Chain A
């Protein structure tokens, strides 16, 4: 359902993704790992439609449709969700109001009936309990004054309410202590479905102890350098990313020779 082919992306004039290929089927959990600066967050942002990311070559299709041609809100309505690495604080915008407006905007775009406030609050209560989030947070401004862990849990909570079909988690584990990491992982695991795919972007293998992926890909120098099952993540944890660089250097030397 998600198909990325030969994707090249420039940011501020610099090529970050250099021919990335990836296919993610329904219900699959794919982990994207890689060293800092490999382009992991760029991939998440490009898929969500952030401005400032220039696609110079390649294609991304979602259910056969050109994802890159859609505005961010259209992608959301088609089931794409990005859990931000740095969730944005928005003073003056109430969390509950925002989330209901977002859900109803998506439902409207899909031709579904909107939820009234009673239906919406029922849904919120259900989802809050799963993530052990305080209902009090819902009455505050979006992410304002939230701790780092609360912000990340709020991202997963929004995902639970919006029920996307492709959830991209951009370093959701960064800045979390072990308890928060478990809470977030439980939240994600409770939402695994046969028709919902996950793209889990992370620097560390630790998260994958809790969210066990079907496939692991290593992103290095703007493309997928290696793919494997969950054991690949363990190998990376044991050996670091250095062996990849060596292998790339050998490949280059072989090509050059």
Chain B
């Protein structure tokens, strides 16, 4: 079957100020302001959670930050983190006390309205048994050229539980170097949902170390790219302790001349017996000029391990397309309905109202989005 012709729609991702698109979040919202180094805080954190500007925490010599800035800086630190360590003076420092539930904390980076280079460092520490949800939102809104380097460092204490929702809708001129490093103690659980929708070039790294026994990671994500967008997602998951689990599910969509890259790296260290690792990536190319490279990379150095991975790259199912059209749906509507359905699964497990809003936001970034359910 011939693919349809290239759509020549502009890539600008204008997110309307529509109430239906507002994220239904209760809790603390911190925006890094139009001038991004402002720390605009609204809402209240639950008791026993502290949230402060990174600079304030640095000034009082917070030991965790000191450790995070210094550890491995001489060599082992990852390039993006090193770059960030050199420059970042802004961000949020979050600490959730043992057993406390911090509720939802949203960290928002507005779109750059003029050419800018921005470095943000967020550090969150969950003490034993603590719970929290972090929402990271890179907003769009303008096409100004910007280079943004964001590093999020997470420490999950024993039995703690953290959900991270990341919504990347950066403007059409943005270049993002975005990295998350997480270290999980025993029985700690990290759940992630990642939506990679905006920016001209975006590279996302998710580096998770399952350091304590029975630590678990469940992460889902999607990139939906158009025009000449380029997005890369690199997972680097290390099963270090025994009986750790990871389940990762990614969907990729590329239209126009976009290029998407997914590298799912999982390493099971010697001695990490009882590891259970599942990785799945499915990808959809909507144009003959789009490109998607998907590579699961499993490295296993332990014996008693369950590991499964699957990767597919394909096009829309012609049988499904004909079925929908035979019932009267125009071809473009049928295509966008199928495309939307393809990535909907990524939102499974999220609180329903948030999942609905995020679904609408994904729909805005898909070809023919005007036909989507409102």
Contact = CB atoms under 8 A, between A and B. Distances in A.
A99 B327 CA distance: 8
A245 interface: no
Interface stretch (A46-54, A187-195, A249-257): A46-54
A105 B371 CA distance: 11
Interface string B319-360: 110111111111101100110111011000000000000000
Interface in A36-57: 48-51
Given A93-B338, A97-B373, A73 B320 contact: no
B19 interface: no
B328 A102 contact: yes
Given A88-B319, A92-B344, A92-B345, A76 B325 contact: yes
Contact of A73 (B317, B325, B341, B345): B325
Contacts of B330: 73, 105
Contacts of B1: 51
A202 interface: no
B328 A162 contact: yes
A90 B323 CA distance: 9
B318 interface: yes
A76 B328 contact: yes
A76 B325 CA distance: 8
A158 B373 CA distance: 20
Nearest to A73: B325
Contacts of B319: 88
B81 to A, nearest CB: 37
Which DSSP category, helix, strand, loop or mixed, fits chain B's interface?
Answer: helix
Given A92-B340, A105-B333, A51 B318 contact: yes
Contacts of A72: 322, 325-326
A101 B337 CA distance: 10
A92 B331 CA distance: 18
A17 interface: no
A138 to B, nearest CB: 15
Contacts, number: 78
B337 A93 contact: yes
A71 interface: yes
A109 interface: yes
Interface string A68-82: 000111011100011
A207 interface: no
A103 interface: yes
Contact of B324 (A91, A102, A103, A106): A102
A91 B346 CA distance: 13
A84 interface: yes
Given A51-B318, A88-B319, A93-B337, A82 B345 contact: no
A49 to B, nearest CB: 7
A254 B334 CA distance: 52
Given A51-B318, A101-B337, A73 B331 contact: yes
Interface in A127-181: 141-142, 158, 162
Contacts of A73: 325-326, 328-331, 334
B333 A101 contact: yes
21 contacts: A48-B322, A48-B326, A50-B322, A51-B318, A72-B322, A72-B325, A72-B326, A73-B329, A73-B330, A73-B331, A75-B326, A81-B326, A84-B323, A87-B323, A88-B317, A91-B341, A92-B345, A101-B329, A102-B324, A105-B328, A109-B328
Top-4 shortest CB links A-B: A92-B341, A76-B328, A106-B328, A102-B327
Given A81-B327, A98-B327, A105-B328, 13 more contacts: A73-B325, A73-B334, A76-B325, A91-B341, A92-B342, A92-B345, A93-B337, A97-B373, A101-B329, A102-B327, A106-B328, A158-B327, A162-B328
Interface of B: 1, 317-320, 322-331, 333-334, 337-338, 340-342, 344-345, 373
Interface of A: 48-51, 71-73, 75-77, 81-82, 84, 87-88, 90-93, 97-99, 101-103, 105-106, 109, 141-142, 158, 162
